[in-house]
Amino acid sequence: MGQTLGLLPGVPAVESPFFEGAEEELHLSADELRIARDLHYQGFAVLDFPDSELDARIERIRRNLGPRFEAAGGPQSLSTEWPGRIQDAWQHDLDVQAIAANPTILALLTKLYGRRAFPFQTLNFPVGTQQAFHTDIVHFSSLPERFMCGVWLAMEDVLPGSGALRYIAGSHRWPIMSNMMLGRRGWQSEPNSAQDPYQDAFEELITKHQASEEIFHARKGQVLIWTANLLHGGSPRTDPALTRWSQVTHYYFDDCAYYTPALSDEPLGRLALRNITDASTGLRVPNRYLGEEVAMPVPEQRPSRVPRPLRKLINAVRPK
Alpha helices in the chain (DSSP H): 30-42, 54-71, 94-100, 103-113, 179-182, 196-208, 308-317
Distance CA 309, CA 314 (A): 9
Distance CA 112, CA 26 (A): 7
Distance CA 55, CA 60 (A): 9
Query: Counting beta carbons within 10 angstroms of the beta carbon of residue 304, is it exposed (0 to 12), middle (13 to 18) or buried (19 or more)?
Result: exposed
How confident is the model over 91-113, as pLDDT tens digits?
999 999 999 999 999 999 999 99
Interval 234-247 mean pLDDT: 93
What band does 82 get if pLDDT is binned at 50, 70 and 90? Answer: very low
Residue 263 has pLDDT above 80, yes or no: yes
DSSP 184: -
How confident is the model over 163-218, as pLDDT tens digits?
999 999 999 999 999 889 989 888 877 767 777 888 899 999 999 999 999 999 99
pLDDT at 314: 47
Q: State which H helix or E strand residue 123 sits in.
A: strand 117-125
Going from N- to C-terminal start, the domains of the chain cover 5-317
pLDDT at 129: 87
Query: Counting beta carbons within 10 angstroms of the beta carbon of residue 249, is it exposed (0 to 12), middle (13 to 18) or buried (19 or more)?
Result: buried
How confident is the model over 122-177, as pLDDT tens digits?
999 999 988 899 999 999 999 999 999 999 999 999 999 999 999 999 999 999 99
Helix axes 103-113, 30-42, angle to 10 degrees: 60
Integer angstrom CA distances of residue 109 from 112, 117, 139, 303: 5, 6, 20, 46
Distance CA 176, CA 189 (A): 20
CATH architecture of 5-317: Sandwich (2.60)
Distance CA 302, CA 141 (A): 27
Q: How many Cα neighbours within 13 Å face the side chain of 241?
A: 0
Distance CA 51, CA 46 (A): 15
Distance CA 192, CA 21 (A): 45
DSSP 83: -
Distance CA 100, CA 279 (A): 7
Distance CA 45, CA 149 (A): 11
Residue 117 has pLDDT above 50, yes or no: yes
Distance CA 310, CA 155 (A): 61
How confident is the model over 275-316, as pLDDT tens digits?
999 999 999 999 999 999 998 766 555 544 555 555 554 455
Interval 9-35 mean pLDDT: 95
